[in-house]
Structure 1
């Protein structure tokens, strides 16, 4: 089941695989009770970029997947693990909206959201067992990093610890780890040699960090996202631009930082902070850092086989940097 090398045919191949995975996701989220099925499909039905299944497909296309069924299983495990973590994240963050729809914890309650997250983790663990022990081990280690990243975010940086460095460590664990594992799963399904799977790990980890850091910028600079601009600011969530702002010691920057740490519940106050941030040099600096890291991610691809799949992975670097939603 090799992927076609013609660009149009390759894009059609990827779309077909994603459609198959979408159907399989709904089936995997089916419980023994109608209520479990409804709650487990809540976030899945709201849509999403399916970025992790896409990475599984693209990475597997560097070689020849051992079977269509295993390719689907690999993508399912990654997306189910991701979706399960979202249920838990929304409880931790007391979120009310997820993907433009009411979050599960606001529709039902925290207990239901936590239990549904656990159920989806269990479904992912069941499916990954059919792929083999190496896949099971990687998924378990990825889950461990997800949890430790959430703990580190909850506890916050230690006294004297660099705030930006601590934040980037959290991003690597909470976002980079699962995207790295998605790329690795694809390579493993295709039987790529260890050094190429390692290259995919490095690529995916860096790309995952870029993905989150671009979200940080989008929260400030874009009016076209699924969430209200400035949501992270209003909720006091640290982001790359606001953390970098602490490096500026001029009066205007210090005043802006004080506003950011103040009460932003009023829409006018939030709009003023957004206006000032958008005009500050820190936005360009943060954007440069995102672009730099995307090039680091692209550098890992040099060890991978040339062809349309590697080109598609390279184009993802540009897509993640330039996206506005």
Structure 2
């Protein structure tokens, strides 16, 4: 097996959000580049996974454009055409390596996870009133909220149709995950219940909205490839911990990364009132920096034109940011602990390197 990926390699720029829909090369550039960087150069491993990614991409594009009405095709294929990361299909294919990766339906399982993910993005953009994603206009910005929400529903229905032929365990996990995602979205919208700790509520929301789908991707891939129950359960646990760490990393990037690097408006969560982890930690912090942050966060954007920039500047030096990064590393450590029980395959090496990648995204 090749040597571990270095921090310098992981820190190199990997992805720039396209200003327009990506060309249909048949291979998702982000996932392929990520695999090439994180995966060992084992004979056949890179080519097998790269070919499987290309197959899944072709099927995804076909599934998002098979509506008879051209207007519906434009809507449902919009986000798929903007060249998303395809992280979830990649996780399905990596998990399949622990069974028989050539099993029937593995590519379908990969596409199901991405369809569910794309549907959640359509819905999230409506709720957040987001104008761009991956550097391109969102569906709601182009067609309005009601049409965009129906586009997300169409993608969920397409995922359900495609998943009907998966093995029973994968189908059951898919159904459970759909329920968890909706519950997570509802918890986020309604906020903590009476007496509920805000940080505990954050973890529950993140487990439903983000971690559940990553865990599903790994579990469905393992089940569809006929891996053992022990392996499938271990990969699901890894996905749960990686997903929470991934969301914390996104929270940090929202505050610390300029739009040119992330493809998203810096501080967007602040503007729409999403209580990210650094915000929650700042609200309970004792540092003078956090005290000013609490005042500004309580006032909101109505405080004035310089509010947004001042809040971002404070978070760049706030102990709350340091604490959030430490909690992210705790989750990544739990993910690595789960991985340690798996066979030492090239896919395990890639999943372990993915933990490094998540950590280094935030600097």
TM-score (norm 1): 0.94
Superposed displacement of residue 250, structure 1? 4.4
* 2:166 equivalent in structure 1: 131
Aligned-pair distance for 1:167? 0.6
Equivalent residues in 2 for 1:179-198 (5 A)? 179-198=214-233
Specify the SS of the correspondent of 1:304.
coil
User: Partners of 2:293 and 2:240 in 1: how far apart?
Assistant: 32
**1 CA distance for matches of 2:199 and 2:150?**
33
List gaps (5 residues or longer) in structure 2: 1-38
Per the alignment, residue 333 of structure 2 pairs with 295
Q: Greater CA deviation, 286-295 or 5-14?
A: 5-14
Q: Does 1:262 align with 2:299?
A: yes
Give the RMSD, CA atoms, in angstroms.
1.8
Tell whether the 8 Å contact from 1:125 to 1:136 is kept in structure 2 after alignment. no
The counterpart of 1:108, out of the listed 143, 146, 159, is 143
Aligned residues of 1:80 and 1:120 also touching (Cα < 8 A): yes
TM-score after normalising by structure 2: 0.84
Shift in CA distance, 272/5, structure 1 to aligned 2, threshold 3 Å: closer
2:290 equivalent among 228, 253, 256: 253
Q: Look up the match of 2:178.
A: 143
Structure 2 CA distance for aligned equivalents of residues 255 and 318 of structure 1: 33
Instruction: Confirm whether residue 228 of structure 1 aligns to residue 265 of structure 2.
Output: yes
Q: Distance in 1 between matches of 2:102 and 2:288?
A: 61
| Equivalence for 1:53 | 89
Q: Distance in 2 between matches of 1:165 and 1:290?
A: 15
1:16-36, Cα deviation, whole Å (9 max, x unpaired) = 221221111110112111111
Q: For 1:274, which of 312, 322, 339 is the aligned residue?
A: 312
The answer for the alignment partner of 1:207 in structure 2 is 242
Aligned partner of residue 257 in structure 1, secondary structure = helix
- CA deviation digits over 1:162-196, x for unaligned, max 9? 10110111000111011000000111122111111
Question: 1:250/1:303 Cα in 2 relative to 1: closer, same or farther (>3 Å)?
Answer: closer
Deviation at 1:54, TM superposition (A): 0.6
Shift of 1:198: 0.5
Give how far 1:229 is off: 1.5
Distance in 1 of aligned mates of 2:359 and 2:287: 29
Separation in structure 2 between the aligned mates of residue 56 and residue 90 of structure 1, nearest angstrom: 25
Q: Distance between the aligned counterparts of 1:160 and 1:88, measured in 2?
A: 29
2:55 — aligned with what?
A: 20
Pairwise CA distance, 1:89:
1.6
| In 2: Cα distance, 1:212 partner to 1:250 partner | 24
- Using the alignment, how far apart are the partners of 2:128 and 2:309 within structure 1? 22
Q: Give structure 1 stretches of 5+ with no counterpart.
A: none
Q: CA deviation at 1:314?
A: 0.8
Distance 2:40 2:289 in 1: 54
CA distance in 1, matches of 2:349, 2:289: 44
Query: 1:236·1:261 contact (CA, 8 Å) conserved in 2?
Result: no
- In the alignment, the residues of structure 2 paired with residue 43 and residue 71 of structure 1 have an alpha-carbon distance, to the nearest angstrom, of 22
Q: 1:119 to 1:33 in 2, by over 3 A?
A: same
Determine if the alignment matches structure 1 residue 88 to structure 2 residue 123: yes
Q: What is the total number of aligned residue pairs between the two structures?
A: 321
Structure 1 residue runs of 4 or more that deviate by more than 6 Å after TM superposition? none
1:165 to 191, 194, 200: 200
Give the aligned partner of residue 110 of structure 2.
75
* Aligned counterparts of 2:174 and 2:59: Cα–Cα separation in 1: 19
Contact 2:40 2:349 in 1 (8 A): no
1:313 is aligned to 351
Cα distance, 1:249 vs structure 2: 2.9
Alpha-carbon deviation of 1:6?
4.6
